[in-house]
Amino acid sequence: MGIILALLLSFVFWGSPWGLWTKKQAFEAYLEEKYGKDFVIEDISFDFFNTRKYHAYAYAKDAPNILSYVGQNRYTGETEDGYGFEVWSYTANEEIGPIIEKYYPNPSNYGVSLMFPETEPKEVIGADYKKHVTVEVGVSVENIRVNSANSEREVERAFFLLQALKDNEVPLHHFAISYENRILQLQENEISSINSLEALGDYLTEYRR
């Protein structure tokens, strides 16, 4: 009796083996039809407490390093995924990362984030992400304390990075460099107006923790 009860409870909270298998097959078929390539489904689960829907992660066999979400919409139950946006994020980081590292060599000190559109374009794979998203670039050099001796050099380094991103037509939404005691940050409407070291230097302000 105890074993039967335990099995029933496991089906309720984690989904039945049959349900997990059928949804895994359904998610795989959905991705392969949508993107025209073979996928591997990983970590499929049934969310009993929040959505009572099936969720998983998947990757394309030809790009196993890009892991994305696939699962049921919590309201409609329809299958949805984030593979296209993950491809854009990967592409953006591969392109923008080396530009940042030219001026700030430590790869653990920066982040590149994309601001995605509310609705997914019809053609995501193969589309130029720059036409559909904006990009946030942030660099942390909190081991550097800006003072009168190095402020000009740090502003110059930030300016050259900003110009390099502009030259590569990166659609910047936000640009920031944080130091131990100061921060330099620009919003989307300010970025296009920066054409000189002096103009950028005006945005280097005291860091308020």
User: pLDDT tens for residues 13-56?
Assistant: 344 555 698 999 999 999 999 999 999 999 899 987 678 899 99
Q: Which two tokens stand for residue 36?
A: 């025209």
Would you say 183 and 176 are in contact if contact means Cβ atoms under 8 Å apart?
A: yes
Percent above pLDDT 70 for the chain: 88
State whether the Cα torsion 26-32-35-39 is positive or negative: positive
What is the radius of gyration, based on Cα positions, of the chain? 23
Gap between the Cα atoms of 154 and 138, Å rounded: 15
Residue 187: what are its φ and ψ, rounded to 5°?
-90, 170
Q: Indicate if the pLDDT at residue 155 is higher than 80.
A: yes
| pTM for this entry | 0.83
In this prediction, residues 128-142 reach a mean pLDDT of 94
Q: What is the pLDDT of residue 3?
A: 41
Contact by Cβ (8 Å): 142, 177 = no
For 119, 130, 179, 186, 195, the CA distances from 190, given in Å and listed in that order, are 26, 19, 20, 6, 11
The C-alpha angle 99, 104, 110, rounded to 5 degrees, equals 80
Q: What is the pLDDT of residues 167-191, one digit of tens each?
A: 999 999 999 999 999 999 999 999 9
The DSSP secondary structure of 171-198, one letter per residue, reads -EEEEEEEESSEEEEEEHHHHTT--SHH
Q: How far apart are CA 175 and CA 116, in angstroms?
A: 17
What are the φ/ψ torsions at residue 110 (nearest 5 degrees)? -140, 165
Q: What is the pLDDT of residue 209?
A: 56
CA 107 to chain centre: 16
Tell which phi-psi region holds residue 87, choosing left (phi > 0), alpha (psi between -120 and 50) or beta. Answer: alpha
40's tokens: 């591997």
Cα distance between residue 130 and residue 134, in whole Å = 7
- DSSP codes of every residue in 35-68: HSS-EEEEEEEEETTTT-EEEEEEEETTEEEEEE
Q: Given a cut of 60, is residue 136 above it in pLDDT?
A: yes
